[in-house]
Structure 1
Amino acid sequence: MNAALTYCQGLVSHPAKTNLILISDLYEGGNAKEMLARAAELVSCGVNLIVLLAFSDDGRPAYEQAHAQALASMGCPVFASTPDQFPDLMATALAKQDTVAWAAGQGINLIRAA
């Protein structure tokens, strides 16, 4: 993920107009500390970093919890949703609206900061 975020960071020319969707289970195969630092850099310069968590084969969210919480503590919306909920939740996140309030009304559990 760090390599992917590094690549994406190099493409950002207008951070405040950039939505970066990270689709992942958040298990970093490389350097997790660098990955979280890179994500923090992106967020601090204005990128709207949205994290869509992976599902296991049995349909349950499957992700590295500490990384999910770290990203949530940066202000990133971090969630897994069913396909029918996804469009509205993503639209809320892209518009930088309150995803926590929206998700609570839909019965979706967003990852919250530790």
Structure 2
Amino acid sequence: MYKTRPFILCACLAALLLTTSQAQAQTAAQKFGRGLAGMTCGILELPGNIVKETQRQGPIGIPIGLAYGLGMTVTRELAGVYEFVTAPFPMPAGFRPILRPEYPWDYFR
């Protein structure tokens, strides 16, 4: 029981951080949340890029999206580590996100 409490606390904190409006200015907490999301959900780049390329190019987009997704999975996870570690520092200026879309699940909106 005592070992699950920190996990539940972290999950609740991440949920609160990730449900902010995009109209607000970026903060260190949002950068921390982006980093955490990038490290843990980077695999969503694979289906996300397949969806994006299929919408753009039709059925030929499936293998292209698969290739992009494989490359972006590594990129998203490395960027997540960078944002997680540098969350207290405003790099880049104003805590702006490094990758677009900001979160890996934004492909599905």
User: TM-score with structure 2 length normalisation?
Assistant: 0.28
Query: Which structure has greater helix proportion?
Result: 2
More strand by share: 1
TM-score normalised by the chain length of structure 1: 0.28
Larger Rg: 2
